[in-house]
Amino acid sequence: MITTLNLISTEEAAIIQEITTDHVTKERLESLGLISGVDIVFVRKSPFGTTRIYKCLNTLVALRNDIAEKIRVEVPDESK
């Protein structure tokens, strides 16, 4: 299933597909390890829910939701 990073649920693993931010922001995200093909897990929300913390390449990265919604991810189907 293809969705955006802000929509995956806690402890759910996904694979980054595409980053649709502006170029400079994309470079920044990539240097932090948010690169297409990389596994990413949603760890927790901040208390007010405006930022989300993700784990990727064994590091924790916090993103505001407006960035997370510009990162397309694939959540592998586990049903079968």
Partner 1 sequence: MNRNEDINVVLVGNPNTGKTSLLNALTGMSLHVGNWPGKTVEKKAGNITYKNTKFTIVDLPGTYSITPYSEEEKVSHDYLMNQIHDVIVQTIDVNALERNLLMTMELLALGKKIILAFNFNLEAQRRGIRIDVPEIHEVLQIPIVVIEANKGENKEELLDEILRVAQEEFEVPSYLKEMLKENNEIHHDKSIEFFKEKLKPYYLIEKTIQRTERIDGIILNKYTAFPIFFAVIFLMFQVTFTLSGPMISAIRYIFDLMGVGIGFLKLPGLLTSFLSEELIGGLGSVLSFTPLIFLLFLMIALLEDSGYLGRTVILVDPFFEKLGITGRTFIPMILGFGCNVPVIMATRTIKDRRERMIAILTNSFISCGARLPVYLLFAGLFFSKYAGYIVMFLYITGILIAFIASLILSKLLKNQTQNSLIIELPPYRKPSVKNILKHAWYHTKEFIKKAGTIIFCSVLVVWVLASLPAGVDYGSAESLLGHLGYLISSLFIPLGFGHWTFSVALIFGIASKEIIVGTLGTLYGVGQDALISDIPMHITPLGALSFMFFVLLYIPCMATIAMIRQESGSWKYTVFQPLATIVVAWIVSFFVYHMGHLFGFN
Q: Using CB under 8 A, which of the segments 1-9, 32-40, 72-80 binds partner 1? A: 32-40
Binding status of residue 58 toward partner 1 by CB under 8 A: yes
Per-residue tokens: 55: 């784990």
Question: Amino acid identity of 46?
Answer: S
Q: Give CA–CA dist 34/72, Å, rounded.
A: 11
Closest CA to 4 of 54, 59, 78: 54
Q: Using CB under 8 A, which of the segments 1-9, 25-33, 72-80 binds partner 1? A: 25-33
By CB under 8 A, name the binding residues for partner 1.
Answer: 21-22, 24-25, 27-33, 35-38, 43-44, 46-48, 50-51, 53, 55, 57-64, 66-67
